[in-house]
Structure 1
Amino acid sequence: MRMQTRLLWWFGAFVLLSVFLWPSFASIVAIWERSETFAHGFLVVPIVLFLIWRKRHGLSLLDYGTDWRALPILAGTGFVWLLARLIDVAVIEQLAAVLMVPILVWLIFGLAAVRYLGFPLAFLFFAVPMGEWLVPPLMDFTASFTVFLLRLSGLPVYWEGTFFSIPSGDWSVVAACSGIRYLIASVFLGVLYAYLNYHALWRRLLFIALAALTPILANGLRAYLIVMIGHLSDMRLAVGVDHLIYGWVFFGLVMFLLFALGNLWSDAERPSLTEAAPPAFEVRKIQPASLTHETLGLVLGLLLLVVWPLLGIWIESRAAAEREWPGHQIASELVNWSPMDTDFSAWTPRFLESSATWRQDFAHGNERAGVYLALYGQGSGEMVNSEHVLVIQKDPVWRSIEQARRSVDLGDGMQRVTETRLKSTTQSLLVWDWYWTNGYQTSSPQLAKLQEAWILLSGQRLNQARIALYTPIELKAEPARARLETFARALLPRLEIHLRALTENRDD
C-alpha cells in the first residue's frame, strides 16, 4: 500500500475518531478552559507535533504495514471507553479516547512507527486532565508539614485535620493550597525537559522523580512561610490575593533552581531540532502483505471505532422517566420515630444533579436522628462524583473533622458505611453515608461504579440512591453510633421496600 493511501486511511480514521468520540475530546478542552490546573493542555498537541517533526528524517526510513495485532487492543480500549462513559468516569473515558490515537498509528503504520514515535505519542496523555484524586492527600501532607515546621519554630498550634490555629489567627489548607497545580506543572515540564536534555534512561527517570518530589516539599515550605508572614505581620500580609502571588513567585524560583541543577548533569549538549535515525532493527524490511489483507484490517479498525459509540447511544436512549419519591409515606410508617416539623440541624450535604431528594429529621423521646436521600438513575447526574461532598471547601459554618470506613449493624447484617464527624460552632454531627444501586449497598465508590456498569451492560434499568444518616454527637461517639443503629433498623426496611418498588416500576 502506497504511503499516500496510508495517510488517507489515517485521515479518515482521525475524522471518525473526532466525530464519534467528540463528547470525550470536548470535555477535555472544556476542563482546560475552566481550570488553571490543566491549562497546560493547550500546549500538548503543539509540543507533540514539534516532537514528531524532529523525527521527520527517521520517519522516512521506516517500513510501514498494517498490523492486525492492534485490532484486539483497539476493541478493548473501545469497550473501556464505553464502560467509562456509561458510568460517568470522565478521566477513564478521556484516557481511552486519547489512547486510541497511538493504537490507530499502530494499526495503520505498524509497530515500528509506534516505537519510533513512542515519546511524542505518550506525551499526548498530558492532555488528559487527571490528578485531582491527589488533592486530599496533598492537603493532609501540606497541613501536617506546615504544623511540624510551626511547632519547630516554637509556635503553639491547635490542629484538626486541615485546620489549625496559632496565637495570631486561624488557618486552613484548602484545595487551592494543596499544591496540585505546582505538582502537575512541574511534572509536565520535567518530563519534557528530561526527554530533550538526557540520553540515559536513569538520568531521565531521576530528574522526573525530582520534578515530582520537589513541588510537594516546596509547597509545604511555601505554606509555612505564608503562615509565618501572616503571623509576623499581625495578619496584615499573605492573607488575601497576595498569598497566591507569593506562592507562584516562590514556585517559579523553585523551578528555576530545579532546572538549573538539572542542567549541571545533562548528558546532551543541547536539544536538537532533529533526532537521529531509528535503530537498525526498526528499519528492517518486513514481508509485504496483500492489499486485500491490509485493507480488511483497516476496515475492521474503522468499524471498531464506531461500534462502541453507537452502542452507547442506544443504551443511553433507554432512560426511564422518574417517579415521585414517597417521603411522607415512609416517614409515617416508622415505628417509635416521629417526623419533626423543624430540622434539628442546619447541615445539608451537597449531592448534585439528583433526580429527587428527601430530607427528614426524626425524634424518639429526647433522641434525634435524620436521613438525607438523593436519587439517581439513567437520565440524571452521576451518583458517584468527587463533587458530591458532605461539606464543601471553605464552608463558612461546617467542617469535616474525621472520616473513616466502618462496619455497622443495620439490622440485616453488617454493612460498610463511611463515618464522618462534622463540626460547627454550635453543633457536632456523626454521619453515616453509603451507596445503593438496584439493591446492592456499599460504601466504596469504586464498587458502586462497577455495580452500575454491570447493570447497564446487562440491560437493566438503573436505580441508585446516596443515603446519609446523621445524629448529634457529644464528647463520645458510642452513644451516637448506637442511636444511628437503632434509627437505621427502623428506617431501612421501609426505605428498601420503596427503593425496590421504584426499580421494578422502571423495568415495566
Structure 2
Amino acid sequence: MVASIARVAPGKSAWGPVLVGLVFVLALVSALFADTLRALVSTWMGSETYAHGFLIVPISLWLVWEKRAALRVTVPQPTLLPALLMLPVGLVWLLAQLVDVRVVQEYAFVCLLILAIWAMIGTATARFLAFPLGFLLLAVPVGDGLTYPLMNFTADFSVNMLRLTGIPVYRDGTFFSLPTGDWSVIEECSGIRYLLASVTLGVLFSYLTYSKIWKRVLFIALSALVPILANGLRAYMIVMIGHLSGMKLATGVDHLVYGWVFFGIVIAIMFAVGAIWRDPEPDKAPRQADSGAGRSTIVAALSVLLASAVGPGLLLALERAPAGGDERVELRSPAPVGGWQSEGGNLWSWRPHIVGTDGEVYGFYRAEAAPVGLYLGIYRRQREGAEVVNVQNQMVPTSDLEWSDKEITTRRIASPIGEFKVKQDRLAGRLGGQRLLVWNWYRIGAVNTSNPFVAKFAEAAYRLVGRQPSGAVIVLAAPYRESPDEAAAVLTVFIDAMWPSLEAEIQRATGHGR
C-alpha cells in the first residue's frame, strides 16, 4: 500500500530548499562520524565478502529516482520527531565506540543518516521512501559470526552426501579424507559470500516483484536458505568431480570457477521461479494527505545537527588523555606450583596469533609426562587496534601453513573462582599429525569469559565510570593422541593448580588487583 503524502500543484516545487538543506545535513553528520564512515568504506575495500556495500547507496538512489514523478508533486514537511530518536541512537553509537564494537557503530551511523533524511523530508514522504531508506542498512558489513557454523554445515552436508553415494569418508572436524585424496572446508568455502550476495539481491528482488508483505518475507527467507543448501551441494559436487577425476579436476582455480558458475545458475533459477508469482504493478501515485505545515527546513536541520552531535560530544567528555609513558610491560611466566615445572624450549611449533598487546609471554609446563602451553597477552590500556576482543586475534590464522583449526566449540570449565565458559579449539598439524586441544578466554577487569559480547559489556561498564579497563587474552594448550578428553583432563588439573600464580601475574602486569 502506498503511503499518503501531501501534494503540490504541478509546476511548483518545494524541494529546492529541502534538498540543499538535506545535502548540508548529511555532509555534516558524516563529518561528525568520519571515523565510522572511514571504517565502513575500508571494510568494503578490503573484503571481497563485503564489496557489495559499494552498490547499496547507488541502488537506493536509483530506487528513489524511480519514484521521482510522484515526489515531484509532493510537499516535503520537515519534522522534529526523528531528531529526538537520534538521541538514543547516538548513545548506542557512543557505547559501541567506547568498547570498539564496529558493527554496532556502523549500524548506528546508518540509522542516524536515515533519521536525518526523515527529519528533513517529513514523516509521510519518508514512509513513501521506506524501502530505499531501509535498504541502506544492508551496507553494514555483518555476518562474520556465521562463517564457522556455515563451514560445519557444509562439511556435514558434503560428508553425508558422499556416504549416501557409497564413498567411504573419514572425517575430523571440517577435514575429511576419501580414498583418492584429502579435502577441507575452509573459510572461503563456507558460503558466506554466496549468502550475503543472495540475501541482498533477494531483498531487492522481493521489493521490485511483490507488493504483498508475506510474499516478500517468504522470498527473503528463501534467498537465505537456498544459498546455504546450494553451497553444500556445490561442495559435494566439487569433491565428486575431484574424486572421479583422480584429483585432476576441481582442485585449483577451476574449484572457484565451478562455485561461482553454480551459484549464478541457482540464483537465476530462484529468481525465475519467484517471478512466476509476481504481483500486479501497484498504483504509485501518492494520495492527498491532510497535514498541516511542517517545521521549517532550517529548524529541522539545526535539530538534526544538535542531536547527532550528542554522541561525539559525550565521547570527548568521557575520553581521558592517555597516561604518559610507555604502556609496555615485561611479563614473566607464572611461577610453577602444585607439582608443575617450567619446560625450556618449544614443545610444538604452534602459538596463538594475538595482536596489539602491551606485553605477552608464552611458556611451557610439565607435570609428570603431561605438557601444557600457556600464553598470556596483557592489554594495560585498550585502544584502537589494541583490544582484547579483536577479529585479528585468532588461534590459527588462515595464512598458517603448518596448523589448521579442525573444530571450534565452547566448554564450561571449573576454576578456583568458579565456573565459566572457554572457547575450545581442536588443532591439527598439517605435516607431523600432532593434535592440540586449546582453551582460550578473555579477561576484562575481574571478568573471565569467552563471549566477546560479555567482554565488551564489561569493558563498557568500566569506561562509563571513567576507568580504563585492563584486559588479557589467556590461552592454554595440551596435546592428545586419540581423544581430546585426554588433554581436557590435563588442562583442568593445570588450571586448578596454577590459577593463583596466573592471577598474581595478571594483577602485577595490569597494575591493580581484582
TM-score (norm 2): 0.89
1 or 2 for the larger relative contact order (CA 8 Å, sep ≥6)? 2
Contact 1:316 1:378 in 2 (8 A): no
Deviation of residue 295 (structure 1)?
5.1
In structure 2, what is the equivalent of residue 466 of structure 1?
473
Deviation of residue 38 (structure 1)?
1.9
- Structure 2 distance, partners of 1:206, 1:430, is 42
Give runs of aligned pairs for residues 476-495 of structure 1, distance below 5 A: 476-495=483-502
Give runs of aligned pairs for residues 242-321 of structure 1, distance below 5 A: 242-268=254-280, 276-278=284-286, 280=287, 283-288=288-293, 296=299, 298-313=301-316, 315-316=318-319, 318-320=321-323, 321=325
- Structure 2 distance, partners of 1:431, 1:90, is 27
Give 3-state SS (helix, strand or coil) of 1:14's partner.
helix
Give 3-state SS (helix, strand or coil) of 1:67's partner.
coil
- Structure 1 distance, partners of 2:504, 2:268, is 62
Deviation of residue 471 (structure 1)?
2.1
Q: One-letter code of the match for 1:308?
A: G
- Structure 2 distance, partners of 1:416, 1:193, is 42
In structure 2, what is the equivalent of residue 189 of structure 1?
201
Structure 2 residue runs of 5 or longer lacking an equivalent are: 1-12
Give runs of aligned pairs for residues 144-183 of structure 1, distance below 5 A: 144-183=156-195
1:399/1:64 Cα in 2 relative to 1: closer, same or farther (>3 Å)?
A: same
Q: One-letter code of the match for 1:409?
A: A
- Structure 2 distance, partners of 1:456, 1:144, is 43
Give runs of aligned pairs for residues 80-479 of structure 1, distance below 5 A: 80-268=92-280, 276-278=284-286, 280=287, 283-288=288-293, 296=299, 298-313=301-316, 315-316=318-319, 318-320=321-323, 321-328=325-332, 330-332=333-335, 334=337, 336-376=339-379, 377-379=381-383, 380-393=385-398, 395-424=400-429, 425-479=432-486
Deviation of residue 144 (structure 1)?
0.9
Contact 1:230 1:236 in 2 (8 A): yes
Give 3-state SS (helix, strand or coil) of 1:370's partner.
strand
Give 3-state SS (helix, strand or coil) of 1:405's partner.
strand
Contact 2:211 2:279 in 1 (8 A): yes
- Structure 2 distance, partners of 1:33, 1:243, is 24
- Structure 1 distance, partners of 2:434, 2:56, is 49
Q: One-letter code of the match for 1:450?
A: F
Verify: 1:76 aligned to 2:76, yes or no: no
Deviation of residue 289 (structure 1)?
5.7
- Structure 2 distance, partners of 1:182, 1:414, is 39
- Structure 1 distance, partners of 2:21, 2:397, is 49
Give 3-state SS (helix, strand or coil) of 1:318's partner.
coil
Structure 1 residue runs of 5 or longer lacking an equivalent are: none
Contact 1:156 1:167 in 2 (8 A): yes
Contact 2:151 2:174 in 1 (8 A): yes
Contact 1:62 1:112 in 2 (8 A): no
Give 3-state SS (helix, strand or coil) of 2:309's partner.
helix
Contact 2:353 2:397 in 1 (8 A): yes
Q: Cα deviations across residues 208-262 of structure 1 (Å, max 9, x unaligned)?
A: 2222222212111111111111111111111001110111111122222222222
- Structure 2 distance, partners of 1:41, 1:324, is 38
Q: Cα deviations across residues 18-76 of structure 1 (Å, max 9, x unaligned)?
A: 21112212222222222222222222111111111111222244443332322332011
**Cα RMSD (Å):** 2.6
Contact 2:80 2:303 in 1 (8 A): no
Contact 1:63 1:284 in 2 (8 A): no
Q: One-letter code of the match for 2:397?
A: I
- Structure 1 distance, partners of 2:225, 2:23, is 40
What percent identity do the matched residue pairs reach?
40
Q: One-letter code of the match for 1:145?
A: F
- Structure 1 distance, partners of 2:219, 2:512, is 58
Aligned length: 497
